[in-house]
Amino acid sequence: MPSAALTRLSAAALAAALLSGCALPPGLPSAASVRQQQNPADLAQAATTNFTPALRCMDEMMFVLGTRDVTLMMEELRDATQKVPVSARDMMTSAISDMTRRSRAVRLSVFGSDQANLSQLLQQAQQTAPFAVVPEFNLRGAISQFDEDVRRQSSTLGLVAERFGVRFGNESRFSVLGFDAAMVRTDTMTLVPGVASKNTTVIAKRDSSAGDGQARLLGAGAVFAFSTGRAEGTSQAARNMVELAAIELVGKLIRAPYWQCLGQGDQHPDAQREMADWFLSMDEDERVVFVKERLRERRWFDGALDAQRTPAFETALSAYRRALGLAAQGEIDAAFFKRFVSQRVAPGPLAAPPRKPAGTARDAAAPLSPSAAAPVAAGVAEPVVATPALAELAVALRRSPAGRLDLQVSSDVAGYVYCYAQEGTAGSVRRIFPNRFARDPRIEAGQVLSVPGKARFRLDARQRFACVQAPREIYNDLPSTLRWGDFDEVRLGGFEQIRQAFAQASGQPVALAAARTAAP
């Protein structure tokens, strides 16, 4: 039979076998073996880098510090060299996600070239929805440097005989990859001083080869040669630098000892210089506020975050100095500041009590009943006094002559206030205070707190509002359902469930008051 006919017959037989589901003709590979050869030999693996433990370390550090409501937006992290085709923005997104698994301290909004430009986003954000607020900081960065073959080393060794020669060669080439990133304030579009990351890494490529020295073997003209090469991945190097930048940027922004997560000692010159820069960038009042905030996070102090050196603050500072191994009396100087930032001590005397239901039966069953007598369509909850420690919290929703709604909160005792908004009677609940614009939940006795105040968001008259007041700061003790960021949906059904969660976390009675929605 002619070869063309054989070919047509084989093709017809193969097609018939495929269509009928029968076995392939003998000698042809099976479908299963073909699929096996097409699949990768190795299983997919997670992208683990040298900085993966450091990202988890930062997450734990922010969880312990109680860091919250650090809001970032990120533009496209471009490749200015056009030689490293990687998605640095996606790498940064993954890094920040790994760094906030437990703490939920950093909230990232991705901004890219497929959206409107940044200025339009800033102008339109507060017009689309009541709580469509702009993140406080903008992360900018780029792969800014890729110098190829900045250094090259090569060596060759050859042996030549009468009829035979051999040659060995070795070559190493080194390139430099750089990544720069910084933080910018979105309200003024100005650079945040000192919050930047600029790092470079060296990428090596090594080649080894061997070949004949004369291109002749016994007069036959045979030629032999082989070569091997090893190159460090450019994309993996870029991922390492992006993850390092994420750690540095967030650590510098919140002024936390991020270098400890990178395996760098506190006495390293770079760490010492970083802490000195933080100290010198603050005036005396700012240092007092910084120390107060950290003492309150570490349960050594309970009070307002202001610049006043009150007796309670001085007592807490003296006790903390002794815990650091220092003299009880002393100033907040550079030496103390460095130890205060970098050295950890055990939680203070205000450590959390065991979680247990708090309050009396009347307190647990207290309804959200706004007072109809409150002026300007505002509401004040019926006072519920289960114990002398329970605050009398008043919440009123007022409308200014310009039509702006403000939630005004006051209490007869000092404490810590958290306010929430709910869409309708069964809609989603969101925390509106404290927030990224006003981070301190402390309220003093007789003080009138205004929400949103000077913050860049607005209230909606169609929503319901309520506040809870705890006798001390318990954010770090709250369940995960209440540790979501500001303006994010709270995974609880209503205000009463929130009050119960606060009471469970504090072990003490928690006041709750609601405001009646103002008339449009």
pLDDT value, residue 167: 72
Judgement on whether residues 61 and 140 belong to the same structural domain of the protein: yes
- Tell me the range of 169-173, 336-340, 397-401, 460-464 where mean pLDDT is highest: 336-340
Say whether 126 sits in a helix, a strand or coil.
helix
Say whether 420 sits in a helix, a strand or coil.
strand
**Type of residue numbered 469:** Q
Q: For the beta carbon of residue 15, count every other beta carbon within 10 angstroms.
A: 10
Average pLDDT, the chain: 78
Identify the domain containing residue 455 by its residue range: 361-515
Q: Which two tokens stand for residue 339?
A: 């130890």
On whether residue 11 sits in a domain, the answer given is: no
- To 10 degrees, what angle do helices 269-280 and 334-342 make? 120
pLDDT for residue 217 is more than 50? no
Judgement on whether residues 177 and 90 belong to the same structural domain of the protein: yes
pLDDT value, residue 38: 54
Beta bridge partners of 153: 172
- The residue out of 247, 262, 277 marking a domain boundary is 262
Percentage above 90 pLDDT, the chain: 38
On whether residue 158 sits in a domain, the answer given is: yes
We report the CATH number of the domain holding residue 119 as 3.40.50.10610
On whether residue 355 sits in a domain, the answer given is: no
Q: By C-alpha distance, which of 303, 507, 500, 499 is closest to 419?
A: 499
- pTM, full prediction: 0.75
- The residue out of 220, 236, 262 marking a domain boundary is 262
Peptide bond before 135: cis, by omega within 30 degrees of 0? no
- The residue out of 262, 297, 317 marking a domain boundary is 262
pLDDT value, residue 202: 86
Judgement on whether residues 305 and 401 belong to the same structural domain of the protein: no
Judgement on whether residues 77 and 206 belong to the same structural domain of the protein: yes
Judgement on whether residues 371 and 327 belong to the same structural domain of the protein: no
On whether residue 38 sits in a domain, the answer given is: no
pLDDT in tens, 494-513: 899 999 999 988 888 899 99
Q: Place 120 in a pLDDT band, splitting at 50, 70 and 90.
A: low
On whether residue 20 sits in a domain, the answer given is: no
Judgement on whether residues 124 and 160 belong to the same structural domain of the protein: yes
28's CB contacts (< 8 A; 6+ apart) are 14
C-alpha 66: how far from its chain's center? 13
Judgement on whether residues 61 and 204 belong to the same structural domain of the protein: yes
Give one DSSP letter per residue of 270-302, joined into a string: HHHHHHHHHHHTS-HHHHHHHHHHHHHHTTS--
Per-residue pLDDT, averaged over 434-441, amounts to 89
Distance CA 42, CA 92 (A): 26
Q: Which two tokens stand for residue 67?
A: 């860091």
Judgement on whether residues 250 and 126 belong to the same structural domain of the protein: yes
On whether residue 29 sits in a domain, the answer given is: no
pLDDT value, residue 349: 85
- Cα–Cα distances (Å) from 277 to 139, 197, 270, 303, 477, in that order, read 21, 15, 10, 27, 32
On whether residue 24 sits in a domain, the answer given is: no
pLDDT in tens, 122-135: 556 555 555 667 88
Judgement on whether residues 413 and 498 belong to the same structural domain of the protein: yes
399's CB contacts (< 8 A; 6+ apart) are 376, 377, 405, 406, 461, 518
Q: Place 224 in a pLDDT band, splitting at 50, 70 and 90.
A: low
On whether residue 347 sits in a domain, the answer given is: no
Judgement on whether residues 402 and 427 belong to the same structural domain of the protein: yes
Per the structure, how many domains does the chain have? 3
Judgement on whether residues 284 and 381 belong to the same structural domain of the protein: no
The dihedral through the CA atoms of 444, 448, 453, 457 has a sign that is positive
Judgement on whether residues 489 and 510 belong to the same structural domain of the protein: yes
**Residue 181 DSSP class:** E
Q: How many residues does the chain have?
A: 520
Strand 70-74 with 137-160, pairing: parallel
